[in-house]
Structure 1
Amino acid sequence: MFLLLVICLAAADDLKRFSFREPHMGTTFGIQLYAADEA
């Protein structure tokens, strides 16, 4: 279990945050994704 945690934390260093927000039905809808690139 510890090894899985270490692998996940090491992989997280390469991720970038992508944030999207749009108004829908009278409120703002937002989503945040973490990925290596936009593709």
Structure 2
Amino acid sequence: MKFCQNDIEYFRYRYNHFRPHQSLRWKTPSEVFHDFNQNFIW
């Protein structure tokens, strides 16, 4: 598993930052998370 770690991290990064998701109205998960943090008052 250790030898695959870089590939897995690369996939996760691309999945969350570059790949739009239909269920998120064609936004990336990171965009949705960022929007949520901007609008949510802690």
Structure whose residues are more often strand by fraction: 1
Q: TM-score, normalised by structure 2?
A: 0.36
Q: Which has the higher contact order (CA 8 A, sep 6+)?
A: 1
> Could you say which structure has the larger radius of gyration?
1
Say which structure is richer in helix: 2
TM-score, normalised relative to structure 1: 0.37
